[in-house]
């Protein structure tokens, strides 16, 4: 459940624990927007140096990836956490805009300490910094409940992390004409 600080700002909302309340009804005006279709544009990374890569999409987007020691790059773990935060923001955007206006401001900070022994992030926490002070306590709680449901229902990244995914690794040596 989200924690709200004095003044109505959301302090944190942890996205690693699935919502257990799926039976509560929602008023029509609070309906959660459906997920958008996933783009099918090609995605790939190209090696640019020792342990550094550039990620690309066929739409022309790119991102520099590498170890923190490489400087102005994102680590793969940082990209995972940023993807989770952005997905939560996009999933709750309509819900917050409906109550706060299209010009509402939010910053979502995300953190997770890496378990070096297991080489994974056991907990990732998102902190929504959003001004909810114009709302009374009841309206604030209702908005947060709907926002959390929207994230639980439509954040593909969060749902994938919570439920796990099968990762298949295929090698296709250049010139072989076949996958190995």
Q: In what order do the strands lie in the sheet with 62-65?
A: 43-49, 52-57, 62-65
Instruction: Give the pLDDT of residue 17.
Output: 35
Query: What is the second-level CATH architecture of the domain 3-15+75-162?
Result: 2-Layer Sandwich (3.30)
Instruction: Kindly give, in sequence order, each residue whose CB lies less than 8 Å from that of residue 65, ignoring residues fewer than 6 positions away.
Output: 45, 52, 53, 54, 55, 73, 74, 75, 76, 79
Per-residue CA distances from 174 to 46, 59, 179 (Å): 14, 25, 10
Instruction: Give the pLDDT of residue 172.
Output: 87
The whole model's pTM is what? 0.82
Instruction: Give residue 146's pLDDT band: very low, low, confident or very high (50, 70, 90).
Output: very high
pLDDT digits (tens, 9 = 90+) for 26-82: 444 456 777 777 788 999 999 999 999 999 999 999 999 999 999 999 999 999 999
126 φ/ψ angles, rounded to the nearest 5 degrees: -105, 135
* Residue 66 near residue 73 (C-beta atoms within 8 A): yes
Q: Helix crossing, 137-154 with 76-100: angle to 10°?
A: 140
Q: Where are the domains of the chain?
A: 3-15+75-162
Tell me how far apart the alpha carbons of residues 74 and 64 are, in angstroms, rounded to a whole number: 6
Instruction: Give residue 104's pLDDT band: very low, low, confident or very high (50, 70, 90).
Output: very high
* Residue 53 near residue 46 (C-beta atoms within 8 A): yes
DSSP string, 60-124: S-EEEE--GGGSS-B-HHHHHHHHHHHHHHHHHHHHHHHHH-TT--EEEEEE---BTTTTB-S--
């Amino acid at each position: 459940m989200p924690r709200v600080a004095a003044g109505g700002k959301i302090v944190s909302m942890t996205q690693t624990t699935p919502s257990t309340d799926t039976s509560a009804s929602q008023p029509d005006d609070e309906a959660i927007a459906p997920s958008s279709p996933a783009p099918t544009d090609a995605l790939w990374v190209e090696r640019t140096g020792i342990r550094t890569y550039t990620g690309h999409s066929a739409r022309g987007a790119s991102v520099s990836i590498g170890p923190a020691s490489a400087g102005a790059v994102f680590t793969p773990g940082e990209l995972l956490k940023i993807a989770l935060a952005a997905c939560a923001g996009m999933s709750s955007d309509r819900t917050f805009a409906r109550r706060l206006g299209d010009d509402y401001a939010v910053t979502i900070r995300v953190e997770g300490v890496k378990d070096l022994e297991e080489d994974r992030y056991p907990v990732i926490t998102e902190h929504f910094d959003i001004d909810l002070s114009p709302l009374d306590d009841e309206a604030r709680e209702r908005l947060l409940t709907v926002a959390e449901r929207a994230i639980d229902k439509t954040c593909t990244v969060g749902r994938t992390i919570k439920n796990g995914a099968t990762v298949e690794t295929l090698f296709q040596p250049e010139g072989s004409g076949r996958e190995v």
